[in-house]
Amino acid sequence: MLAEAWPDATCELDHRNAYELVVATILSAQSTDRMINTVTPKLFAKYPNAAALAKADQAVLEEEIHSTGFFRMKARSLIGMAKALVERHGGEVPATMEELLELPGVARKTANVVLGTALGKNEGVVVDTHVARLSQRLGLTAETEPVAIEQDLMALLPRDQWTIFAHRLIWHGRRVCSAKNPDHDHCLLAPVCPTAALVKLAAKQPAKQPAKPPAKKPAMKPAAKKKKARA
Ligand code: SF4
């Protein structure tokens, strides 16, 4: 159903090769792809490869990527990653999960993005905020940690679907099943989505009547009070 809905789903970070995708993905943390795509054209023109980026001045680079947020940490990661590519891999992006995970600023999500999208290798499933949220809503996982969610998805999906499934889920999350306003009414997954079923059920429940306040005890008459005191 997702394939039908999003036949053109792909990575929305603009890039021309694996090096550019590593850079864009590191920059994309806590930011949007749209924002990153406004910053990377200038960046890729100035630092077209790992050798150029490895020589970047930290303060200048921070200024250049300031608008993406967390610019100090990202600048440090980018320069460190580029130096590691030059020193250990002849300036090229390595094609294994193990080697990618040893690069500064590269965690499993970034490694999966690069391997799946730029290098055509299904080594895992990208679990970003959209994939995590939709996998839970669709009942594909009960986990909350990305690595555990990824394990569940890898067990459910044929390996050749790992990368494309994540792209489709991300597209669906951005366009239909947003964090705050999921559009259940116009979602083609609604017939198979447990969250949609729950929402439907909740809508059918009669609205709860406000609880009645407890009945007040009638106030004792003064005479009755006296009688009670004597007793
Ligand atoms: S039915 Fe609702 S919760 Fe389920 S995938 Fe669609 S929008 Fe998301």
Per residue in 32-44, pLDDT tens?
Answer: 999 999 999 999 9
For residues 106 and 162, membership in a common domain is answered with no
Tell me the mean pLDDT in the region 118-128.
Answer: 97
Domain count, the chain: 2
> Whole-angstrom Cα distance, residue 16 to residue 14?
7
Q: What confidence tens digit (pLDDT) does each residue in 147-201 have?
A: 999 999 999 999 999 999 999 999 999 999 999 999 999 999 999 999 999 998 9
For residues 114 and 35, membership in a common domain is answered with yes
> Whole-angstrom Cα distance, residue 117 to residue 34?
18
Q: Indicate if ligand 1 lies below 6 Å from the C-beta of 116.
A: no
Dihedral angle of Cα 6, 27, 124, 144, to the nearest 10 degrees: -90
Whose alpha carbon is nearest atom 1 of ligand 1? 190
Tell me the mean pLDDT in the region 52-64.
Answer: 98
Please give the residue that has the higher pLDDT: either 229 or 103.
103
Annotation says 128 is catalytic: yes
For residues 103 and 31, membership in a common domain is answered with yes
Q: Indicate if ligand 1 lies below 6 Å from the C-beta of 132.
A: no
Banded pLDDT at 205 (limits 50, 70, 90): confident
Q: Indicate if ligand 1 lies below 6 Å from the C-beta of 184.
A: yes
Residue 211 in any domain: the answer is no
For residues 152 and 108, membership in a common domain is answered with no
Task: Give the whole-number percent of the chain exceeding pLDDT 70.
Answer: 89
- The answer, yes or no, to whether residue 139 has pLDDT greater than 80, is yes
Ligand 1: distance of its center to the CA of 120 in Å? 29
Banded pLDDT at 221 (limits 50, 70, 90): low
For residues 99 and 42, membership in a common domain is answered with yes
Annotation says 109 is catalytic: yes
Angle at 189 between CA 12 and CA 108, to 5 degrees: 40
Residue 204 in any domain: the answer is no
From 102, 118, 134, the end of a domain falls on: 118
Q: Which domain holds residue 70?
A: 18-118
Residue of 130, 176, 181, 192 to mutate, ligand 1, most atoms within 8 A of C-beta: 176
Q: Indicate if ligand 1 lies below 6 Å from the C-beta of 189.
A: yes
> Whole-angstrom Cα distance, residue 114 to residue 97?
10
Residue 212 in any domain: the answer is no
